[in-house]
Amino acid sequence: MDTFKSLKKDLLQINQDISALFFDAGSITGMPDHSFADWQKTCSNIYKQMSEQIIRVAVVGTIKSGKSTFINSLFKGDYLKRGAGVVTSIITRVRSGEQLKAKLLFKSWDEVNSELDQALVLFPSVDWRTEKNRFDIRRKGERIDLQKALSSLSSEHLFANYSRNLNSVLLTSYLKGYEKVKDMISSDSITSHYEDNKFAEHWAFVGDGSMAIYLRDIELEIDSGNIDSNIEIADCQGSDSPNPLHLAMIQDYLLLTHLLIYVISSRTGLREADIKFLSIIKKMGIMDNMLFIINCDFSEHESINDLHALVEKIKEELSMIKPDPEIYSISALFNLFKVRNENLSQKDSLRLAQWKKEKELTAFSDHETKRFESLLYNKLTRGSHFLLLKNHLERLSVILSGMTHWILVNQNIFARDADSANEVIETIKHNQIRMNKITSMMKNTLDGSIQKIKRELKADIDCYFDPRSGDLLGNLIEFIRSYTVLYQNYEENLKAAGFSNTLYLVFQEFKHSLDTYMAETINPEVIRFVREKETRIKEYLDSVSSSFDIMVQDAIVEYNKMMGNFGINKSRKNQERIGLPDIDSIKGIAGLALPPAVASMNYTARVKTEAVIRLGFYTVLKFFKKFLRKPIQRKNEQEVLALKDGVLRVKRETEKSVLFHFKDYQENIKFQYIYKLIEAASNSLYESLIDRFRIYVTDLSDMVELINNKLIDKKQASEILKEMEQNSVRIDGRINIIREKLESIGLTDD
């Protein structure tokens, strides 16, 4: 990390020094106002990109694996709420800063009511509400009606699979927290800040489910620890959260990250939930940049040999999913207690004292902690980040080369008489015609290439999301249609709670199964597909740039030979080819992100009221059966038939809704992401190529007239140009030093 920081700092200084050359050129009295605007813009963008570059780390794992404790240990204090609620938790992003600060972003009223609407689909009974418009929690009558309706629900609606029903938790939490947070919510999302001595007040939100449910995002700024300010560490929800939307939220953040840290508790070892989540990550195609933390609980291990045996077992199991996994065995809580020694409770002080007696265990954890910290920053900054620095370096080298050429041309012209200077300028003008043709041809060819790759990827995307020809939606539809309801299990519920209550229960179980299938199967497949398309974009534009690069190099070599005839020789070697940055860097620069996986799950089963009214049909049918003396097989036969019909309608409406939303999701991926990514990558390529031509197409037509009319102070100009030349040589030397360092790092990484 120190090497990376040092190189980044040097590169920022070089960027600043090159920008100073533009100012020096403008200080020459009488010099035409040559526009260095494009180069200045490039330098400004490079500074912004390097200054704002954020390296994102996701800390993931199952519930209670010690993720929050691990992050607290990195920042040397108890900043993240440990043991926060499971159902309403969200991703907490943490960075180093100059002060202690918590920023809480609240949902808007529209977002709150939209979530409530989702949870109220097929809510039992059609007459529990006084209002008939869209549900709005701000209306007192609505809250009273909902509270009464929730109170009337049976235990089957409140619990499912031995845990709280997610929808009942959501509805109850929103009602319970309303009075506490109503003044913090508005029609727009509002951010609240808790700074310095008020920092701990934000725990009231993350520790109370009825308040946390109103939050959309949390970012903490912490003024301790050894983490650099450009590193963001995210505490993600447990991968085995009972809410499938949490898994989708984690997937969305993982796509932004540069490193994944997977935490495994030594109390449990590798569990089925871990294997399932790691398999999902592998399917997403983002497992390469991952390391593992075995969070050691000293109280669970009799000896160091016991711990070693567990570590070896976990490593063996992980190797089946990721070959040669990088594993560090650390006691996060021990590390945290050590730095908080003075502020521990009596109970925790006793635990720390006891652990310190376990010499072998603590020594092992200390060694692993040092090993982890020494390699963490290297893991964070190698690869794409050094590649991005190299790309910035080569672009600055091109700009410096062009600026050096501008200095040499003007020095040469000032040393000549008017006729001789005019000969040089006419030769340059003749060359400009050729350069402009090459530039125009590159632009036209690149525009044509963009349209070609867009057509190719459009066909791929349309085929992939086509429910008739693609497997993705075909499998999803098959899941919906083949979902089995064991109606005999609901007969008692029909008798006790009635038709509408039972239909609601069946629907909630169906929706939970479908959401889980989306999060665990559909979303990873979509992510894998999109990443394949990203790779295709990179490969395609790289192939296009190769031919362009040869053309540019040949044109510049010929130009330099021509200028050599006038004694204007470039001592600097030709620049290396500037390739495209990696796709993640381009996305970061352009501010692009894949439409969230959560969006693909934001469907509403638009179940029509006929599903409930069908009960009346079967009641009439029962009357006619009696009239015709046809036997009724079961006492509640009509209710079971109505339930079957209601479920069939639910599945049909859900299928329509899912297909509708995926069509919208498909178009967003195509137009708002893939097409924009192609354009951003193409613009990056074009800008890097055209930077080499900018100075060669500068109009010097007025220079001779200005010299003849003595509108330029040649002596002052020559002195400034001489100093600029010397500065240019020094900057070039520093660029070469950085280039050698980056090349040596590249060899090491290989």
514 and 617 in one domain?
yes
Q: Give φ, ψ of 160 to 5 degrees.
A: -145, 130
| pLDDT of 608 over the 80 cut | no
Whole-number pLDDT of residue 710 = 62
Confidence band, pLDDT 50/70/90 cuts, at residue 169 = confident
543 and 411 in one domain?
no
Under 8 Å between Cβ of 712 and 28: yes
**740 Cβ neighbours under 8 A, 6+ residues apart:** none
Instruction: Give the CATH number for residue 734.
Output: 1.20.120
| pLDDT of 609 over the 70 cut | no
| pLDDT of 207 over the 90 cut | no
624 and 736 in one domain?
no
Q: Measuring CA to CA, which residue among 494, 443, 478, 454 is closest to residue 683?
A: 443
Query: Can you give the pTM of this predicted structure?
Result: 0.84
Whole-number pLDDT of residue 718 = 87
Percent of the chain with pLDDT over 90: 38
534 and 400 in one domain?
no
Whole-number pLDDT of residue 620 = 43
Query: Region 412-420: what's the mean pLDDT?
Result: 80
Q: Which of 33-47, 272-286, 643-657, 694-708 has the highest mean pLDDT?
A: 272-286
Q: What is the rounded CA–CA span in Å between residue 158 and residue 261?
A: 35
Whole-number pLDDT of residue 164 = 53
Is 326 within the bounds of a domain?
A: yes
Q: What is the rounded CA–CA span in Å between residue 589 and residue 582?
A: 11
741 and 606 in one domain?
no
83 and 48 in one domain?
no
Whole-number pLDDT of residue 390 = 83
651 and 558 in one domain?
yes
| pLDDT of 526 over the 70 cut | yes
Comparing 159-168, 525-534, 592-601, 710-719, which segment has the lowest mean pLDDT?
Answer: 159-168
Whole-number pLDDT of residue 492 = 82
Is 482 within the bounds of a domain?
A: yes
| pLDDT of 65 over the 50 cut | yes
Is 251 within the bounds of a domain?
A: yes
Is 704 within the bounds of a domain?
A: no
Whole-number pLDDT of residue 602 = 66
Whole-number pLDDT of residue 611 = 46
Query: Region 33-42: what's the mean pLDDT?
Result: 76
Q: Measuring CA to CA, which residue among 620, 452, 597 is closest to residue 519?
A: 597
358 and 316 in one domain?
yes
pLDDT of 440-458, one tens digit each? Answer: 888 898 999 999 999 999 9
Is 216 within the bounds of a domain?
A: no
Q: Give φ, ψ of 668 to 5 degrees.
A: -65, -45
9 and 77 in one domain?
no
Whole-number pLDDT of residue 432 = 77
What average pLDDT does the structure give for the chain?
A: 83
122 and 83 in one domain?
no
Q: Which two tokens stand for residue 468?
A: 């008739």
Is 502 within the bounds of a domain?
A: yes
Domain boundary among 329, 358, 382: 382
Query: Region 726-739: what's the mean pLDDT?
Result: 94
How many domains does one find in the chain?
Answer: 4
Is 41 within the bounds of a domain?
A: yes
Q: What is the rounded CA–CA span in Å between residue 293 and residue 333?
A: 13
521 and 572 in one domain?
yes
Note down the domain range covering 535: 444-699
* Sheet-wide strand order for 290-295: 191-195, 101-106, 215-222, 92-96, 231-235, 55-61, 259-265, 290-295, 327-330
Is 741 within the bounds of a domain?
A: yes
Query: Region 702-718: what's the mean pLDDT?
Result: 68
Instruction: Give the CATH number for residue 272.
Output: 3.40.50.300
Q: Which two tokens stand for residue 381?
A: 């900054």
Q: Give φ, ψ of 55 to 5 degrees.
A: -100, 120
Q: 């479920």: which residue's tokens? A: 647
403 and 337 in one domain?
no
Domain boundary among 364, 382, 400: 382
The H-or-E segment that residue 149 falls in is helix 140-151
Q: 């930077």: which residue's tokens? A: 691
| pLDDT of 280 over the 80 cut | yes
